[in-house]
């Protein structure tokens, strides 16, 4: 048996997709610090550093108790030198000096504000900062040309930076269901993203749409958007989207999609002093053919790190390529069909992890 130690040693798998990560996080003091540094790295186009901090944070989220001493972390995977330095700082001083100075930095503050605008990514924000634009007022005064999405993003800035509640997500779900069923009866709508993982709030609401008959879903997105646009004057409707409906390809997948803004009428008790009776909410709509639906649900449920780790596991450990469309076995040189997430985990040789435990 093991010699007595004051603090229990943890044993944790190295891939986040091998672990069960609930929303119950015993180390938020540490994971908040690492997540902020990850975010700062991502906003600065330092993806490698970003992933390293995300992996370290995810590992700490999976621990069953609070870490109080560095010795508990000995031998654990995913904790690089830099992350360990940050953790040590927080454990010893209550805060990380690097996190504090990042939070105070003019550049980080500006990146947060500017990328908080729908349709503005790290690249655009960086260009504006180099032109001396650090906040919304300076942006408005600068005469920068904004695209339609960015204009809407600026107009609804406060609404879109206010977390979406589960009740609001459910209300949006009803609108989407109605729209989809109006233009193509028999279609199915699935809630994905953070709300499927059991989160109580989110930055948007994510939906995946399909139809049980393969091929029927082709061209569905423009029809759904047209239907929603025709409802513009009603209580709940569609306001604007990024790059229009049916944007073809991104670096992530090739589904028909619409990253949009919805208008959601508030219930009486939610009305505020401003007498605004509705609010803008970010909604992501994606259409998948039924043959790819299981892969699409898995790919759009997240978390982002969980997805990244699944693909890394598939490639490095199984010689397979996983995407939101399919799973390809490079050894057998063939696609592996699946109609459920459980089957995909089984192909990958992983224990099934339900959505509520994918909060890595």
The catalytic site residues sit at 204, 206, 284
Cα 175 to Cα 173: distance, rounded to the nearest angstrom: 5
Identify the residue among 39, 126, 168, 206 touching ligand TTP (CB under 6 A).
206
Cα 58 to Cα 16: distance, rounded to the nearest angstrom: 7
Binding letters toward Mn ion, positions 236-275, x by CB under 5 A: ----------------------------------------
Q: Which two tokens stand for residue 64?
A: 């069953």
Cα 281 to Cα 208: distance, rounded to the nearest angstrom: 17
Question: Is 253 one of the binding residues for ligand TTP (CB under 6 A)?
Answer: yes
Report 182-201 residues binding ligand TTP (CB under 6 A). 193-194, 199
Greatest alpha-carbon pair distance for the chain in Å reads 71
Question: Is 168 one of the binding residues for Mn ion (CB under 5 A)?
Answer: no
Report 274-303 residues binding Mn ion (CB under 5 A). 284
From the list 22-30, 125-133, 208-216, 343-351, the region that binds Mn ion by CB under 5 A is 22-30
Q: What phi and psi values does residue 231 have, to the nearest 5 degrees? A: -100, 15
Residue 299: contacted member of Mn ion, ligand TTP, none (CB under 5 to 8 Å, by partner type): ligand TTP
Closest CA to 91 of 107, 73, 76, 115: 73
**DSSP one-letter code for 350:** -
User: Hey, how many other C-beta atoms are within 10 angstroms of the C-beta on 327?
Assistant: 22
Residue 199: contacted member of Mn ion, ligand TTP, none (CB under 5 to 8 Å, by partner type): ligand TTP
Beta carbons of 238 and 205 less than 8 angstroms apart: no
Q: Which two tokens stand for residue 255?
A: 């589904």
Residues comprising the chain, all counted: 360
Q: Please identify, using beta-carbon distances, which residue of 262 and 300 lies nearer to ligand TTP.
A: 300
Residue 168: contacted member of Mn ion, ligand TTP, none (CB under 5 to 8 Å, by partner type): none
Identify the residue among 202, 245, 289, 355 touching ligand TTP (CB under 6 A).
202
Residue 302: contacted member of Mn ion, ligand TTP, none (CB under 5 to 8 Å, by partner type): ligand TTP
Question: Is 203 one of the binding residues for ligand TTP (CB under 6 A)?
Answer: yes
Question: Is 304 one of the binding residues for Mn ion (CB under 5 A)?
Answer: no
Residue 294: half-sphere exposure toward Cβ, Cα within 13 Å:
16
Cα 165 to Cα 75: distance, rounded to the nearest angstrom: 39
Question: Is 119 one of the binding residues for ligand TTP (CB under 6 A)?
Answer: no
Q: Which two tokens stand for residue 314?
A: 């598939």
**Strand ordering across the sheet containing 327-329:** 320-322, 327-329, 334-335
Find the Cα–Cα–Cα–Cα dihedral 195, 198, 200, 206, rounded to 10°: 0
Q: Please identify, using beta-carbon distances, which residue of 64 and 248 lies nearer to ligand TTP.
A: 248
Question: Is 268 one of the binding residues for ligand TTP (CB under 6 A)?
Answer: no
Q: Please identify, using beta-carbon distances, which residue of 119 and 299 lies nearer to ligand TTP.
A: 299
Nearest distance from C-beta of residue 284 to Mn ion, angstroms: 4
Report 182-201 residues binding Mn ion (CB under 5 A). 193-194
Residues that bind Mn ion (CB under 5 A): 24, 193-194, 202, 204, 206, 284
Residues that bind ligand TTP (CB under 6 A): 193-194, 199, 202-204, 206, 250, 252-253, 284, 299-300, 302-304, 307, 324
């Amino acid at each position: 048996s093991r010699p007595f130690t004051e603090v229990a040693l943890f044993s944790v798998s190295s891939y986040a997709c091998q672990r069960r990560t609930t929303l119950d996080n015993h180390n938020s003091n540490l994971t908040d610090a690492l997540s902020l540094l990850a975010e700062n790295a991502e906003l600065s186009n330092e993806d490698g550093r970003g992933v390293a901090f995300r992996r370290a944070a995810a590992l700490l989220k999976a621990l069953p108790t609070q870490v109080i001493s560095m010795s508990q972390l000995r031998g654990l995977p995913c904790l690089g030198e830099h992350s360990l330095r940050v953790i040590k700082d927080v454990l010893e001083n209550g805060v990380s000096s690097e996190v504090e100075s990042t939070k105070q930095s003019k550049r980080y503050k500006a990146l947060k504000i500017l990328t908080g605008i729908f349709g503005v990514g790290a690249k655009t924000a960086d260009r504006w900062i180099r032109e001396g634009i650090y906040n919304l007022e300076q942006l408005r005064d600068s005469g920068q040309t904004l695209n339609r999405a960015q204009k809407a993003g600026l107009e609804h800035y406060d609404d879109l930076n206010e977390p979406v509640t589960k009740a609001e997500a459910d209300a949006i779900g009803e609108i989407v269901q109605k729209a989809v069923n109006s233009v193509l009866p028999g279609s199915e709508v699935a809630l994905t993203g953070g709300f499927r993982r059991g989160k109580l709030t989110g930055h948007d609401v994510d939906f995946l749409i399909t139809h049980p008959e393969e091929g029927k879903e082709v061209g569905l997105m423009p029809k759904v958007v047209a239907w929603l646009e025709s409802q513009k004057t009603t209580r709940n409707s569609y306001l604007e989207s990024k790059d229009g409906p049916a944007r073809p390809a991104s670096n992530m997948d090739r589904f028909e999609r619409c990253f949009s803004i919805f208008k959601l009428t508030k219930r009486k008790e939610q009305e505020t002093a401003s007498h605004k009776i509705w609010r803008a909410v970010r909604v992501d709509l994606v259409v998948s053919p039924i043959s790819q639906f299981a892969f699409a649900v898995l790919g759009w449920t997240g978390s982002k790190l969980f997805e990244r780790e699944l693909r890394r596991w598939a490639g490095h450990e199984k010689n397979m390529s996983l995407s939101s469309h399919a799973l390809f076995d490079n050894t057998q040189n063939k696609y592996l069909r699946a109609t459920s997430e459980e089957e995909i985990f089984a192909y990958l040789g992983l224990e099934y992890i339900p959505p509520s435990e994918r909060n890595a």
